[in-house]
């Protein structure tokens, strides 16, 4: 996809996310706020409206775009390397592990303040993926089409284990008020997105997308299996380690900001393949753009679906993702 068109589409999606909400904000107000803040203009605007646009709506839309792009590209990486159409950070337990790591830092005080929330989430995400990989290998699987069932089952087991650990930590260490806030956050919550989160989410989303693009040919080679990738000169172990670590890091950072959001990494890559094909030089930017637009749309829906309340964004993505997941399972049914 052409870079200019991607930039225009992404900017339009962010502007829509800023304008649409429980209270509609005119596009002119958004433009004037941006001019005041970025260009030093002096448009006479209501301070409350300007604050809503700059400190709440804009940061929320940018973080949603980054999280959607990061999770979608992570899904592309996992599906390509594992050669499994059902692989994504949520189903493989990476999101659950990241949630456990984040809760260990925030509630249980792991690291006594020396460990950041994102670092704790990354440790949990990496531990979850290693556990799933070991379980899949121990059950006779590995990486390849024959291992699809084992990897998914191992991911379900890992997700349940880390979800149980998260619930145990919250029950044991959190107050009632903390527990309520954390459980809402774990379902996906962009309400707390601010500029410091933007400063973390933007480089991570850009980094994982550019790294994936840099290895687009290697990912194409993995489509035919690790043996074929080796024959084509791809350093299989190094690329697998680098890209899976990158996907785990991106997932961990996004979970530490907005909580665990499911199905983005599963649904969006399949939709992108349907539109642009399987070559990763086109698939990666398409998935990043569609993931960003999908999560911005889901955030808008979460704010306007129930009057006076904000739904957890994970609820919205699951309502879309679960039927698509079922459709993928049905379409992959082996012929008799």
Residue 13, burial from CB neighbour count under 10 angstroms (0-12, 13-18, 19+)? buried
Burial of 12 (0-12, 13-18, 19+ CB in 10 A): exposed
Contact 209, 272 (CB under 8 A): no
Q: Which residues contact residue 291 at a Cβ distance below 8 angstroms, ignoring those fewer than 6 apart?
A: 68, 69, 70, 71, 72, 73, 264, 265, 268
Q: What is the pLDDT of residues 47-86, one digit of tens each?
A: 888 888 898 999 999 999 999 999 999 999 988 888 877 7
Tokens of 94: 């990476």
Please write the tens of the pLDDT for every residue from 291-324: 999 999 999 998 888 877 888 888 888 888 788 7
How many residues can be counted in the chain?
A: 336
- The Cα–Cα gap between 198 and 218 comes to 30
The helix (run of H) or strand (run of E) holding residue 66 is: helix 58-82
Exposed/middle/buried for residue 104 (C-beta within 10 Å: 0-12, 13-18, 19+) = buried
Say how many CA atoms lie within 13 Å of 332 toward its Cβ.
Answer: 13
pLDDT of 335 reads: 46
The H or E element containing residue 107 is: none
What is the pLDDT, as a whole number, of residue 333?
56
Sketch out the chain's domains with CATH numbers: 1-331 (1.10.3470.10)
Contacts of 151 (CB under 8 A, 6+ apart): 82, 84, 87, 92, 132, 136, 141
- Residue 334, token pair as written in the block: 């082996």
Contact 270, 85 (CB under 8 A): yes
Token look-up 């990494």 returns: 265
The distance of Cα 31 from the centroid of its chain, to the nearest Å, equals 28
Q: Mention every residue, 6+ apart, whose C-beta is less than 8 A from residue 256.
A: 98, 102, 117, 118, 120, 121
Question: What integer pLDDT is reported at residue 204 of this predicted model?
Answer: 93
Query: Residue 87: its pLDDT value, please?
Result: 80
- C-alpha 36/C-alpha 39 separation (Å) is 6
Q: What is the mean pLDDT of each run of 10 residues along the chain (336 residues)?
A: 72 88 85 88 84 90 94 92 81 85 80 68 84 78 54 83 89 77 79 87 94 92 82 85 86 84 88 90 93 92 83 87 77 56
């Amino acid at each position: 996809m052409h870079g200019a068109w991607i930039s225009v589409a992404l900017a339009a999606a962010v502007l829509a996310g800023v304008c649409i909400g429980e209270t509609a904000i005119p596009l002119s107000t958004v433009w004037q706020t941006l001019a005041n803040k970025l260009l030093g203009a002096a448009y006479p605007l209501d301070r409350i409206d300007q604050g809503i646009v700059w400190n709440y709506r804009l940061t929320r839309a940018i973080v949603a775009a980054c999280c959607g792009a990061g999770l979608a590209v992570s899904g592309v990486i996992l599906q390509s390397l594992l050669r499994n159409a059902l692989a994504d950070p949520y189903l493989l337990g990476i999101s659950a592990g990241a949630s456990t790591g984040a809760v260990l830092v925030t509630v249980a005080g792991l690291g006594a303040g020396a460990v950041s929330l994102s670092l704790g989430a990354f440790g949990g995400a990496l531990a979850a993926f290693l556990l799933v990989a070991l379980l899949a290998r121990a059950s006779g699987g590995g990486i390849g089409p024959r291992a699809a069932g084992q990897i998914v089952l191992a991911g379900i087991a890992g997700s349940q284990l880390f979800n149980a650990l998260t619930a145990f930590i919250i029950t044991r260490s959190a107050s009632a008020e903390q527990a309520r806030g954390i459980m809402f956050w774990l379902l996906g919550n962009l309400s707390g997105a601010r500029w410091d989160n933007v400063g973390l989410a933007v480089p991570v989303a850009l980094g994982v997308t550019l790294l994936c693009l840099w290895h687009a040919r290697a990912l194409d080679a993995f489509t035919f299996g690790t043996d074929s990738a080796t024959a084509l000169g791809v350093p299989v172990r190094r690329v697998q380690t680098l890209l899976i670590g990158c996907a785990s890091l991106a997932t961990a950072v996004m979970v530490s900001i907005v909580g665990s959001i499911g199905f983005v990494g599963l649904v969006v890559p399949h939709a992108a393949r349907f539109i642009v094909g399987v070559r990763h030089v086109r698939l990666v930017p398409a998935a990043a753009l569609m993931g960003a637009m999908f999560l911005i749309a889901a955030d808008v829906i979460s704010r306007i679906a129930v009057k006076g309340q904000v739904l957890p964004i994970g609820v919205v993505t699951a309502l879309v993702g679960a039927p698509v997941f079922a459709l993928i399972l049905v379409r992959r049914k082996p012929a008799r």
